[in-house]
Structure 1
Amino acid sequence: MKIPSFLFLFSLVFVSGLAASGSMAEERHVFLLIGQSNMAGRAAIEAEDQGEIEGVELWNIGEGKWELAQAPFNRYSPHRKDIKMQRLNCGPSFAKAWRDAHPGVKVGIVCSVRGGTSIEQWEKGRQEPWPLYDTALAATQTALAADSDSKLIGILWHQGESNSGASDAYPAKLKELIANWRTDFKNPELPFVFGQIGQWNPKYAAFNEMIVKQPTAIPHTACAMTDDLTAIDEAHFDSRSQRELGKRYARAMLELTK
């Protein structure tokens, strides 16, 4: 039986449309999350934080595969502390905000964090006591190579409590760290967002004053502010604050990528 030409053309358009929409749905925006304990997450995973997050995937570093994300995001870091210590970080709310701002795009998170670490321990090539930089780099490169639809959009870095007593030396080390990531990912303008640490602790005042100035010194960076955020102890954000911090990281990243 001969198919009328208009039906044939309609079928082609319909199938092409499905293919195009499927391609859009498969696009994945990847972010690397690194730093110390507040990025690992020490806040309680409350009822609203539980369950798989639609449209967000977490890279399983050990098994080398993407899977639906759920808190805690730092569960797969090979250098993490005990799994019971890995709780809510800013990752879920960041990923949800980015997803909502980019309909039809998946969000991919590579989270490789170790609590209690200094910026010096994140130096490229450092192996002791953990190869933090090299592990995060290799994990992200492997995640990006897993399929052709993934693109690294930016890096989120939340660290500073361990360096709060020597904030004068921090800017040069941060600048070097960012330069190394950009070199290794072959993107000299790779967006990089860092954040203030807890403003409730007077020991962190000098660090917080310093870190907000760094976007003027390092191009294509931004700082997430921690005004009005609250704590569970002297160093760590509570659940509400982690949710809000993730939204602030997302706003900063969205501004950098406009």
Structure 2
Amino acid sequence: MRILSILLCFLCCGYSASAKKKVPVILVAGQSNADGRVPIADLPEELKTYKYCQWSYGSGDFETATGRFSLFSPRVAKPKIEASWGFDAVVYKRLEELWQKPFYVIKQTMGGTAIDTTCTKSTHGWYWSIDAGKKSLLKAFEQQIDKCLLTLSPQTLDIRCLIWHQGESDQPAADRYYDNLKAVITHLRQHLVEVTGEQRYASLPVICGTFAKGSRQGSKKVSAALYRLQSEDVNFHVVDASDLSLQNDQLHFDAKGAITLGERVFEKLTFRQASRP
């Protein structure tokens, strides 16, 4: 019965039939594996060009408040490795093939960032906690969304889901990850309700990936928190990444791992090739 409920949720995206006529929007957030750390040299030919995916990419202070969109092209904001890509490039390509019409991505990612502010190594003092003040990535993300909504107009869009991959940097505070991530999701959902006036976003679907078994920063407690959230929230969905391959750093997915994770996230998002925006 639960499987059927999830299927129906994603086929309809939890919303009315009229909402399906609107422009689809995908939210993406997290740390380095969501940002993308696979060298561009390993990018498959089919993922090099895009036709319909328009994105707004923020990373802390990087282009967060502009609200501008551009045609998606795989890259990251981290100096010296700008020519990199992640699993989300696969998701966008598959959505282009499925939908055959323009859609938008609002992405806020930064490598090495934690939710819990007691994790002192979080990059440049940025945290996903709303309590992190000017260094709150959650606030930066919400401000970025607000700017993008001015461009798109809430009345013409349909925010389909949040794709989230994060948690490696919360390994030292793994006992609190359940509460911390739940607070992040709750805050983001409520923010969307407030800025759009659409109560349906209080149950915005979340798709969240786990970690490869060999990850040096993977945490069983963090993964357990993800599955606990899935058991309690019918709109929270976990994608298993435990069997995926990593680069030599034993942290970031390699090309094969990123592609597989992207395919799994896409399948979780759509379930059936026949679904249309």
Kindly state the Cα deviation for residue 163 of structure 1 after the two structures are TM-superposed: 1.6
Q: CA deviation at 1:86?
A: 5.9
Deviation at 1:178, TM superposition (A): 0.7
**Please, which of 195, 204, 208 is the counterpart of residue 218 of structure 2?**
204
TM superposition shift of 1:199: 1.4
- 134, 140, 146: which is aligned to 1:141? 146
Q: Deviations over 1:73-106 (max 9, x none)?
A: x44xxxxx326256111111111223333x3432
Tell me the equivalent position of 2:74: 71
Q: Report the alpha carbon displacement of residue 50 of structure 1 after superposing the two structures with TM.
A: 5.4
Aligned to 1:240: 256
Q: What secondary structure is seen at the aligned counterpart in 2 of 1:65?
A: coil
State the partner residue of 1:179.
186
Contact 1:201–1:235, Cα closer than 8 Å, also in 2: yes
Query: How many Å separate the matches in 2 of 1:42 and 1:109?
Result: 19
Counterpart residue number, 1:37 = 32
Structure 1 residue aligned with 2:267, among 247, 251, 258?
A: 251
AA of the residue aligned to 2:138? Y
What whole-Å deviation, never above 9, does each CA across 1:136-180 have from its counterpart, x for those lacking one?
111122212213433221111100111224322211111111100
Residues 175, 210 of structure 1: alpha-carbon distance in 2 compared, 3 angstrom cutoff: closer
Q: Is 1:195–1:224's contact at 8 Å kept on the other side of the alignment?
A: yes
Distance across 1 between alignment mates of 2:111 and 2:57:
19
TM-score (norm 2): 0.72
| Shift in alpha-carbon separation, 1:238–1:90, aligned structure 2, 3 A | same
Note the C-alpha offset of 1:37.
0.8
Alpha-carbon distance in structure 2 between the residues aligned to 1:170 and 1:34 = 16
Query: What is the one-letter code of the residue matched to 1:234?
Result: Q
Unmatched segments (≥5 aa) in structure 2: 1-20, 117-126, 194-200
Output the TM-score relative to the length of structure 1.
0.77
Superposed CA offset, 1:106-140 (max 9, x none):
22111211110012211125235x23111111112
Cα distance in 2 between the residues matched to 1:202 and 1:114: 18
Q: CA, structure 1 residues 205+117, in 2 after alignment: closer, same or farther (shift >3 Å)?
A: closer
3-state DSSP of counterpart to 1:33: strand
* Partner AA of 2:226 in structure 1: I
1:114 aligned to which of 107, 110, 114: 110
Look up the match of 2:23.
28
Distance 2:214 2:110 in 1: 23
How many matched pairs?
Answer: 225
Q: Which amino acid aligns with 1:34?
A: A
State the match for 2:9 in structure 1. Answer: none
> Structure 1: how far apart are the matches of 2:167 and 2:83?
18
SS of 1:229's partner is: coil
Q: Share of identical aligned residues, percent?
A: 21
